[in-house]
Amino acid sequence: AVPLSYGLLIFPGFEVLDAAGPIELLNVLSVYMGHNEIQLSVIAATLDVVTPALRGPDVPGHRFAGKQHYLPTHTFDTAPALDVLIVPGGVGTFKPAEKIGPMVEFIRNVYNGSLGNPPLQYVFSICTGSRLFAEAGILRGHKATTNKQGWKSVTKLTDKTHWVAKARWVASGNIWTTSGVTAGMDGMVALIAQIYGDEKAEALCDMVEHSRQKDPENDPFA
């Protein structure tokens, strides 16, 4: 079935464009292209304001990034059944285990469907969002990629994972991982093409004036 329930995971220190690139494309799909049956839940540990891109353990007062305030719609406990989960990266993925533990557990549970809900149709990470997938143990036996900045620290977290360095995105079964930041858009266009057809993906890129990358291995940053 075509996915209808999308979730976006956010957390302190997420990377703004990691989330906004794919979400923009889905906004266009749902708002301008008639797919207004798809729904979004914005999910975080609590319903508190979330701020992005903060360096260090706790710098909520950052004068630039700290002024960007996002409100979740759901917590890990109240999130509805999901078909697709989108997980951005950012410095927030590098926090100690006790801080990221609940996110990692949430990802594992929704991916496997062990919260009384069916398993996800797709899980999709941008940048170091794949670090949370690695911690959740869902990358075993899969191909995956991540951004270039965090390459070593992310890829060392798994065994039995084939990490692909030269890739804008990697689709491995229902696990989609993308490279750094702007690669999230290329990956999401590819996923939209797979789900909704190539014509829709093409029209969508035209609407947002995005130069589509059709070859996942055409990665100028590798």
The footprint of its own copies (CB under 8 A) covers 6, 15-17, 19-21, 23-24, 26-28, 30-32, 36-42, 49, 52-55, 62-65, 67-71, 73, 147-149, 179-183, 185, 206-211, 220-221
Task: Supply the minimum distance, in Å, between the C-beta of residue 47 and its own copies.
Answer: 10
Nearer to its own copies, 196 or 221 (CB): 221
Handedness of CA 83, 100, 189, 52 (dihedral sign): positive
Strands 84-87 and 5-9: parallel
Structure tokens at 32: 């301008």
Nearer to its own copies, 145 or 161 (CB): 145
Task: Supply the minimum distance, in Å, between the C-beta of residue 7 and its own copies.
Answer: 10
Nearer to its own copies, 141 or 222 (CB): 222
Strands 175-178 and 169-172: antiparallel
Nearer to its own copies, 104 or 130 (CB): 130
Handedness of CA 182, 15, 196, 201 (dihedral sign): negative
- Distances in Å between the alpha carbon of 177 and those of 27, 123, 125, 203, 221? 20, 8, 5, 23, 16
Nearer to its own copies, 70 or 196 (CB): 70
Task: Supply the minimum distance, in Å, between the C-beta of residue 159 and its own copies.
Answer: 26
Task: Supply the minimum distance, in Å, between the C-beta of residue 64 and its own copies.
Answer: 4
Query: Crossing angle for the helix pair 183-196 and 198-207, nearest 10 degrees?
Result: 140
Most distant CA pair in the chain: distance in Å?
Answer: 45
Task: Supply the minimum distance, in Å, between the C-beta of residue 55 and its own copies.
Answer: 5
Please, which residues have CB within 8 angstroms of residue 44's CB and are 6 or more apart in sequence?
A: 9, 10, 11, 50, 72, 74, 75
In whole angstroms, what is the distance from residue 110 CA to residue 123 CA?
Answer: 9
Nearer to its own copies, 37 or 199 (CB): 37
Paired residues of 5 in beta bridges? 39
Task: Supply the minimum distance, in Å, between the C-beta of residue 137 and its own copies.
Answer: 26
